[in-house]
Amino acid sequence: MHDAPKYPLEPDRDEARAMSEAAFALVEDFLRDLPHLPAFDPGGATGPAAALRGERAPEHGTALSELLPTIAEGARSGATSAGPGYLAYIPGGGLYTAAIADFLAAALNKYVTVWQLAPVFAQMEATVVRWLCDLFDYPATARGILTSGGSMANFSAVVAARTALLGENFLDGVLYVTDQTHASCAKSAMLAGFPRANVRVVPTLATLAMDPRALTDAIARDRAAGLRPFLIAASAGTTNTGAIDPLPELAAIARTEQLWLHVDAAYGGPFQLTERGGERLRGIEQADSITLDPHKAMFLPYGTGALIVRDGALLRAAHHVSADYLQDLGPEDEIPNFTEYSPELSRDFRGLRLWLPIKLHGLAAFRAALDEKLDLACEVHDELVKSGFEVPWRPELTAVAFRWLPERGDADAFNARLLERINAGGPVLLSSTRINGRYMLRVCVVGHRTHRDRVVKALEIIRTSRDDLVTE
């Protein structure tokens, strides 16, 4: 019998290699099977997930080979959101090269939020943030942070705008959204301390974009009521349909009214890489701050959002608090101390997750993939129209909302059954939403593994499911 290792938390080289190989083998098998797995398998909730419930932390370890099957099972249950058939919500991706970056980042475990502790990696992250700023022609004074996602980016934007324009007594500050704005903006306002009544929902145009006239009227009404309008939270790619608010008009209003213009481009921002995206997002470069989520349309693993702020000093002013125990580390220099721009201190090294894939693939690969998704969404739109569906909005990005209008009976109930029927098949997962009170289905093409064959399949399933339900 072998003696128990003295330091079990420090596997030797051979053990480490064997574990890495076993983990990579799991991933290889998963990726090999991914195109054939059901896009949604709800079964895991009752079996493997239930088995984990109530599990107590073990006193002694178990071999990796005995644990990996549970992880493999977890990967296959629920939605296979890294797969080609995931067309629900806003799909993510999970670039393999970003997973390599995450492995390296976690294993090397450097502390990037205070630059002196990891100057090369902190600079790498700053460089990546600069690349995002370049995408929107932001000046050299711009700064940004990589966040866990769009929600946290929107939160820091609201706090930055609040600090810059309202000071510490801000309960009379009002911000402007629409009923299509992502809920994280209202949630950010709530977390930032604003009364819920101070989130003003501005009416939209027929395109579902914010109505600039209605915005101007709302601002005037709020000023007359003694309130302090301070922030327009515009969307560049709403979650429901990808609608883009009229950014040049909103920028002009923000200038005249001296408000902060934040653009939530969590979904649409990366499309700026493409010619069509650049045209549709025109005006975004005038925003005071922009949220964009590389874990959406840049296909990175979940946990990668970004906020960039035109005047970086304002982001820092809203987040920086000095601490005696960090005194040895000194002030930021050419390389920013990210913690001074963000609510976070210790966190994962997110920059490598962007830097490595961009260096390995080049931006051209991202542009081409996004162009492919834009084409596919147009095809979905055109084919659904041809098949008689109601498809009220031509996609500006890659989300298409639609429904079937049955000759008899309740349209909402019919479309809810239609969604169930479509998703029951396995190859695709769609989601639903409510727009102007109507139940709508959505196809959203974002995943880097979603190509034309799967979209054609989705259309076939949608049509057949509709035909079956109509004749039942």
Q: Which residues bind ligand PLP (CB under 6 A)?
A: 90, 149-151, 182, 184, 235, 237, 239, 264, 266-267, 293, 305
| Min separation Cβ 396 and ligand PLP, Å | 13
Residue 143 and residue 311: Cα distance in Å, rounded? 7
Task: Count CA atoms within 13 Å of residue 114 on its CB side.
Answer: 15
CB nearer to ligand PLP: give 177 or 352: 177
CB nearer to ligand PLP: give 149 or 395: 149
Do residues 170 and 346 touch, judged by C-beta distance below 8 A? no
| Min separation Cβ 346 and ligand PLP, Å | 20
CB nearer to ligand PLP: give 237 or 425: 237
CB nearer to ligand PLP: give 161 or 266: 266
Write down the residue that tokens 């969404």 correspond to. 377
Q: What length does the chain have?
A: 472
Residue 137 and residue 232: Cα distance in Å, rounded? 20
How do 78-79 and 305-309 pair as beta strands? unpaired
| Min separation Cβ 432 and ligand PLP, Å | 15
Cα–Cα distances in Å, from 428 out to 60, 112, 453, 459?
Answer: 42, 39, 12, 10
| Min separation Cβ 129 and ligand PLP, Å | 17
CB nearer to ligand PLP: give 122 or 210: 210
CB nearer to ligand PLP: give 395 or 427: 395
Do residues 287 and 142 touch, judged by C-beta distance below 8 A? no
CB nearer to ligand PLP: give 184 or 272: 184
CB nearer to ligand PLP: give 38 or 294: 294
CB nearer to ligand PLP: give 151 or 337: 151
What values do phi and psi take at 448, rounded to 5? -70, -15
Residue 398 and residue 373: Cα distance in Å, rounded? 6
Element (DSSP H or E) covering residue 120: helix 119-135
> In sequence order, what are the residues at sequence separation of 6 or more whose Cβ sits closer than 8 angstroms to the Cβ of residue 361?
97
| Min separation Cβ 472 and ligand PLP, Å | 34
3-state secondary structure of 140: coil
DSSP 374-428: HHHHHHHHHHHHHTT-B--S--SSSEEEEB---SSS-HHHHHHHHHHHHHHTSS-
CB nearer to ligand PLP: give 116 or 431: 431
CB nearer to ligand PLP: give 280 or 466: 280
| Min separation Cβ 235 and ligand PLP, Å | 6
Helices 96-108 and 351-361, axial angle in degrees (round to 10)? 140
Q: How many CB atoms lie within 10 A of CB 63?
A: 9
How do 305-309 and 399-402 pair as beta strands? unpaired
Write down the residue that tokens 């493999």 correspond to. 72
| Min separation Cβ 368 and ligand PLP, Å | 23
| Min separation Cβ 91 and ligand PLP, Å | 10
Sheet order of strands, 305-309 included: 143-147, 305-309, 289-292, 260-264, 228-235, 173-178, 199-202
| Min separation Cβ 245 and ligand PLP, Å | 11
| Min separation Cβ 466 and ligand PLP, Å | 27
What values do phi and psi take at 451, rounded to 5? -120, -175
3-state secondary structure of 433: strand
| Min separation Cβ 185 and ligand PLP, Å | 7
DSSP 201-256: EE-B-TTSSB-HHHHHHHHHHHHHTT-EEEEEEEEBS-TTT--B--HHHHHHHHHH
Residue 131 and residue 209: Cα distance in Å, rounded? 28
| Min separation Cβ 291 and ligand PLP, Å | 7
CB nearer to ligand PLP: give 90 or 298: 90
